[in-house]
């Protein structure tokens, strides 16, 4: 069976058979068999190709690793676990933002704590000039999901929609910058996701507690792992169902 994931990943990154052959030290015919016949490369070759196309080995070759090995690798993806999102040091957020050079993806209901950070908008403006791509998904404050969330977090009625509107007011100027996309979603979120290149903060949502009090963990992307990929896939699914921001209507 052809490996369409590998084929698509190579095309997306502008790579051909010869590029992969040179990088891995194998014949072009071998690379072609990886694609057309679905042959599984040796581990050292999988690692190299996955790095070239910025995908995980598990995505490109789902059956390459046994379940027990996947569990071991997943543990290596976790850099740190925080009992509450508010316990994450400010300098970690600052470092992640400062070191991101290719992409930042944010999936939140409000994310007001991030929007209120003065360096956030300033750094985004600077880095997009150098090619950084930013995608931000905010909950639609007029949708039932946002209204309902106030009660689920034991907050005063209308608190979550108000926080979303405050966050939108702060990040609205970014919508005019090339390289920044801001969209709305009406998803019932189970986690907030903050991706900075190959690192990610996942803020788990806990019924009865606001996001700041819920646990969070810090992940890194590893070629042979799929924990990071799980949340990346979740972000992409919400992005697919999102819709254009209308700041005039939400103001």
Domain with CATH 3.30.870.10 in the chain: 74-250
- Round the average pLDDT of the chain to a whole number and report it: 88
Of 81 and 70, the structure prediction assigns the larger pLDDT to: 81
From the candidate CATH numbers 3.40.50.300, 1.20.1070.10, 1.10.260.40, 1.20.120.530, the one assigned to the domain spanning 4-64: 1.10.260.40
Residue 28 in tokens: 């072009």
**Where in the chain are all domains bearing CATH 1.10.260.40?**
4-64
Cross-strand pairs, 38? none
Q: Is-contact 110 164, C-beta < 8 A?
A: yes
Task: In whole angstroms, give the CA distance from residue 226 to residue 78.
Answer: 11
Provide the 3-class DSSP secondary structure of residue 202. strand
pLDDT at 110: 92
The predicted pLDDT at position 203 comes to 96
- pLDDT tens string 33-48: 999 998 999 888 988 8
pLDDT band at 67 (very low <50, low <70, confident <90, very high): low
Taking residues 16-39, report their average pLDDT.
93
Confidence class for position 251, pLDDT limits 50, 70, 90: very low
Please tell me the least confidently modeled range out of 18-22, 33-37, 182-186, 247-251.
Answer: 247-251
Q: What is the pLDDT of residues 204-246, one digit of tens each?
A: 999 988 889 999 999 998 766 678 888 998 999 999 999 987 7
How many angstroms separate the CA atoms of 240 and 190, rounded? 17
Domain 74-250, CATH number (from 3.40.50.720, 3.30.870.10, 3.40.630.10, 3.40.190.10):
3.30.870.10
pLDDT value of position 36: 93
Partner residues linked to 185 by β-bridges = 139
Beta strands, E only, the chain: 78-82, 103-107, 133-139, 180-185, 191-196, 199-204, 216-220, 243-244
- The stretch 90-108 carries a mean pLDDT of 94
Return the minimum-mean-pLDDT range out of 144-153, 183-192, 208-217, 227-236. Answer: 144-153
Residue 82 pairs with which residues in a beta bridge?
216
List the structure tokens of 31. 């690379």
């Amino acid at each position: 069976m052809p490996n369409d994931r590998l084929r698509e990943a190579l095309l997306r990154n502008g790579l051909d058979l010869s590029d992969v052959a040179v990088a891995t030290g194998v014949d072009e015919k071998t690379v072609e068999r990886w694609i057309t016949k679905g042959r599984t490369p040796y581990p050292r070759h999988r690692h190299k190709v996955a790095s070239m196309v910025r995908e995980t080995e598990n995505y490109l070759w789902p059956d390459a690793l046994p379940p027990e090995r996947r569990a071991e690798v997943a543990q290596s993806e976790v850099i740190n676990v925080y009992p509450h999102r508010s316990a994450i040091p400010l300098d970690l957020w600052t470092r992640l933002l400062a070191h991101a050079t290719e992409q930042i993806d944010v999936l939140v209901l409000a994310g007001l704590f991030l929007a209120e950070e003065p360096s956030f908008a300033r750094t985004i403006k600077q880095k997009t000039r150098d090619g950084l791509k930013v995608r931000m998904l905010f909950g639609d404050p007029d949708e039932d999901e946002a209204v309902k969330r106030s009660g689920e977090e034991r907050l005063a009625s209308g608190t979550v929609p108000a926080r979303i509107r405050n966050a939108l007011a702060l990040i609205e100027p970014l919508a005019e910058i090339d390289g920044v996309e801001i969209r709305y979603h009406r998803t019932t979120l189970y986690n907030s996701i903050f991706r900075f290149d190959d690192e990610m903060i996942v803020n788990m949502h806990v019924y009865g507690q606001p996001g700041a009090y819920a646990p969070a963990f810090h992940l890194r992307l590893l070629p042979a792992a799929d924990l990071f990929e799980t949340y990346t896939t979740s972000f992409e699914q919400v992005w697919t169902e999102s819709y254009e921001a209308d700041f005039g209507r939400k103001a």
